[in-house]
Chain A
Amino acid sequence: MKKLIPLYIVTFVVAFCSLMYELILGQTLSAFLGNTVLRYSVTIGLYMMAMGFGAMFAEGKFTEKSKESFMKIELALTVFGGFVVVIFFYLSYWIGAEVLFSFIVHSLIIVIGVLTGFEIPLLIEMMKDSSSKAEVQVLGVDYLGAFVASLVFAFLFYPKLGLVSAAFITGIFNALAGLLVFFKVKAKNDKRITMRKIAYFQGALVLILLFFLLNSDTINKCLIESYLNK
């Protein structure tokens, strides 16, 4: 049981992060393009579909190197998710055409959904050795994370922090979850050297995101200025 606690924490955090990214994406879309109900509905639909694809694709594909793959996915999620709002602003800055902009943003929703879908089979794989009920437990904790994310987004992150800082913090959580796996979870077939490299990257990302977070007011202002003076 004790061995599993880090994995539970990781499961909770990554589920929290994924839904948080999606809510941030849905809200940013509705802020830029209007019609909240449409944006939210489509975001949920695409997210669920992408997660399904991710889960289908992941099963049997890279479950052999579960720990290494998981760390890679967390790295990708940190990059895509943590900087999602920044990416958004630059997209709307460079791409005037709404159609193209909205295409790219929806693709981003799918990318984050697919990456999230990879997570669950990998977590189940990592837990299997120590627990027979791995599947159900991972799912349970995963859903709990998503539930908490929805409340935190609506009542805390969006109104109190704003979208930019919310994405940075979520990115930091995500990176830390990846690092927790590196330090606390035992792996079988994975390459130590590759994982160490990923961990270095991940650590660097935490520092960058932390720096961004501390300067989020300035970044926020710069982004909005560039958006306004287009």
Chain B
Amino acid sequence: MSKKLLLIYFVTFVVAACSILYELLLANSISLIAGSTVVWYSVTIGVYLGAMGVGAFYKDKIFADTELSQKLFNIEVILSILGGMVAALVSLSYSLSVYFISLYWGQMAIAFFFFMGITLVFAVGFLSGIELPLLMEIGNDLNKGKRRISNRILGADYFGSLAGAVLFPIVLVPNLSSYQIGFIVALANVVMALVVLLSLARKKNNTSSRKIIGLIVLFVLVFGLFRSWQIEQFFAKKYYYYLDAGESFGAIFSKMKDYPDIERIRSPYQQIDIMEPVEFGPSDFLVGSYFNYESNNDIIDERMVFLNGDWQFATYVERVYHEYFAHVPMGVSENVPKKVLVLGGGDGMLIRELLKYSEIGEIVHVELDGKMIELAKQHPILSTANKNSLHNEKVDTIVDDAFRYVKRTEREFDAIYIDFPVPADYNISKVYSREFYFFVEDCLADDGFLVMYAPGVGSFSDFNEEGKVIPNEELSPWFQYYHTLKSAGFQTIVPYLSLLEVDNPNAWEVAGELVDIQEAEVNKGKPIEEINGLTEEERWGRIEKMVRAHVLSLAESFIIARKDEVHVFGVHEHDVETIIGPKRIHLAFDVPFTKDEEVNWRYVNSIMKPTLPHFSVWRIRFPYKIN
């Protein structure tokens, strides 16, 4: 076999791997912003295949008068430039659509993002579709007179696709940022373009201008690769600080040097971001007024943690969430459990709360992401926040898929705590499924309890005229959780919200100061005679409104489930008295939810037919809750 033919096979292999890698990178970048991994991966595959078809159709019409090898060079260089930039272009489209949202374009802004993403997928697919027939033609020309080799080129192409598809999830995603992946793949691609030009182009043609272009692209890509950390920071800061930076068009392109860098840790499963919040709203000031901090050690540096861009917790408000999570179910149980299973919760905060019970003899902690455990144990701020809970000798941490663990374990636990992220994606929906709860039920003692974080059940709740919180069951996923748990065999299913009391005197004092500051801000610079001071009634009204908004913003939702039927939930005297008082426990349960007698299968979330996420996939992520 001639050397040139071998070279053609090699080039085919590499460029095919590059094409599929660009597409997977696009799928990954789009789903990091839009969520719904399953949806955007399948749409990317479909559009990619479709676009390759269109490309194959138009292959003769593009660069029609150019010699084949030079035409291939052109295509490969365009692909390298485009492919090297896809991750950055997706991020830029996101920034632009956030800007459009700030202009109140709403759905149009989201449509813009998806339009850009799918256009990129199409463009890469289109160019890849031209590439393969060209390589076949070149190969057949080289092999003139002998048998056709298009099938072998096709083979090399398919092997390249497979290699790219395997390399991406196993090697590239866990170790490199999207921008780095893009630059590296594009570099391989432009090198192949130059190889084609140097070895296959006919001597008589002048190729020097093409060589120069190829080299320039090569250098730009190498430069980009060295600057990829900066590029990553540039877009990460856009994501987290853009709203703060004033939502102006100019801010999209500014470097935001005044803002602190984002700490980003990559694992095979997710991208963990730790960011330092720069500005605080009333809610952030109010939260402290609810806690009696015992010493200065209780107050730590303020950080927010995000998983794949979704908000997880902030170190200065997580106490509300984790205290209600850990202690409310203890407060309504007869006994404190001895053996506890914690699923998820890799940050160690929930375990910090559980360790306050001396009765708990053993905590088995199952977390999917070993990187998260490492962070919780070693990160200076996080390990201070969780009080080194994961180093405690009672805690046995297992790095495993929770679904697999509960399916296989033979052990039985008195209490199971489930702390997973929001099921915004079908792959997380799996650990909110009937199948999962069934296996959970299997390793729960007959008189034990399960308590889970039930994201979204408390969203859209509001105070009614009597000052009682009323949930919005139609918009929230309450029925999905309820019927799924019921279908898995749980008899008692009781939701509760982490509701703080509205009538807290400390909170009213802080809110009063905040209202006065706001008022002073409004009146700044006005002549005295134009200032209309607030009447006492107006002032109290505003304070109450502020405190209520604060209480709702911290109202996360949980569900306690038991195998047996328990009708009355009473407050029992454990250590809980000192941590979370009976008043808050009563408040937590004092929210009316519908409980049907029969399982309604329409709502049951199954791995075979998911009903969660219950909202449209037609959305993009925001770092904060937008109320």
Contacts and interface: CB of A to CB of B under 8 A. Distances in A.
Nearest to A46: B162
A34 B401 contact: yes
B162 A49 contact: yes
B427 interface: yes
B76 interface: no
B587 interface: no
A59 B151 contact: yes
B46 A139 contact: no
Given A150-B46, A158-B609, 6 more contacts: A30-B38, A31-B430, A48-B20, A136-B56, A144-B53, A162-B609
A187 interface: no
A38 B267 CA distance: 13
Interface in A1-27: 19, 23, 26-27
Interface in B54-74: 54, 56-57
Contacts of A44: 20, 24, 45, 161, 165
Interface in A159-186: 159, 161-164
Interface string A145-161: 01111110111001101
Contacts, number: 161
B154 interface: yes
Contact of B435 (A48, A56, A224): A224
A63 interface: no
A215 to B, nearest CB: 14
Nearest to B31: A37
6 contacts: A40-B45, A45-B161, A55-B154, A136-B56, A158-B610, A228-B435
A36 interface: yes
B430 A149 contact: no
Shortest 7 CB-CB contacts between residues of A and residues of B: A150-B46, A45-B165, A143-B53, A162-B609, A52-B158, A147-B50, A45-B162
B328 to A, nearest CB: 30
A45 B164 contact: yes
A147 B47 contact: yes
A136 B130 CA distance: 13
A201 interface: no
A19 B434 CA distance: 28
Contacts of A51: 158
B50 A155 contact: no
A224 B434 contact: yes
Contacts of B157: 52
Contacts of A146: 45-46, 49-50
Contacts of A49: 158-159, 161-162
A223 B434 CA distance: 13
Q: Is the interface of B mostly helix, strand, loop or mixed?
A: helix
A78 to B, nearest CB: 21
A102 interface: no
Which of B40, B56, B161 counts the most chain A CB atoms within 10 A?
A: B161
A56 B157 CA distance: 12
Given A38-B169, A41-B166, A49-B161, A159 B46 contact: no
Given A49-B162, A52-B157, A224 B53 contact: no
Given A34-B430, A144-B53, A154-B42, A217 B169 contact: no
Contact of B45 (A19, A35, A164): A19
A34 B427 contact: yes
Contact size range, B: 35 or more
A123 B52 CA distance: 19
Contacts of A52: 154-155, 157-158
A155 B607 contact: no
B593 interface: no
Contacts of B56: 136, 139
B41 A36 contact: yes
B438 interface: yes
Given A154-B39, A154-B42, A164 B50 contact: no
A37 B610 contact: no
A88 B212 CA distance: 54
B159 to A, nearest CB: 6
B173 interface: yes
A217 B599 CA distance: 14
B608 A163 contact: yes
A62 interface: no
A100 interface: no
Contacts of B611: 159
A220 B45 contact: no
A61 B57 CA distance: 26
B383 interface: no
A37 B173 contact: yes
Contacts of B404: 34
Contact of A147 (B24, B46, B155, B608): B46
A42 interface: yes
A211 interface: no
Given A34-B427, A37-B37, A143 B45 contact: no
A55 B38 CA distance: 28
A142 interface: yes
A145 to B, nearest CB: 9
A212 interface: no
Given A23-B42, A37-B173, A45 B435 contact: no
Contacts of B155: 52-53, 56
A227 B28 CA distance: 31
A147 B49 contact: yes
Nearest to B59: A136
A41 B42 contact: no
A30 B427 contact: yes
B609 A220 contact: yes
Nearest to B173: A37
A26 B151 CA distance: 27
A48 B427 contact: no
Contact of A155 (B165, B610, B617): B617
B449 interface: no
A227 B434 CA distance: 12
A158 B41 CA distance: 14
Contact of A149 (B46, B51, B609): B46
A192 B546 CA distance: 81
A136 B133 CA distance: 11
A228 to B, nearest CB: 5
Contacts of A154: 38-40, 42-43, 617
B357 to A, nearest CB: 32
Which of B20, B162, B173, B609 counts the most chain A CB atoms within 10 A?
A: B609
B306 interface: no
A36 B45 contact: no
Contacts of B57: 136, 139-140
B568 interface: no
Contacts of B268: 35
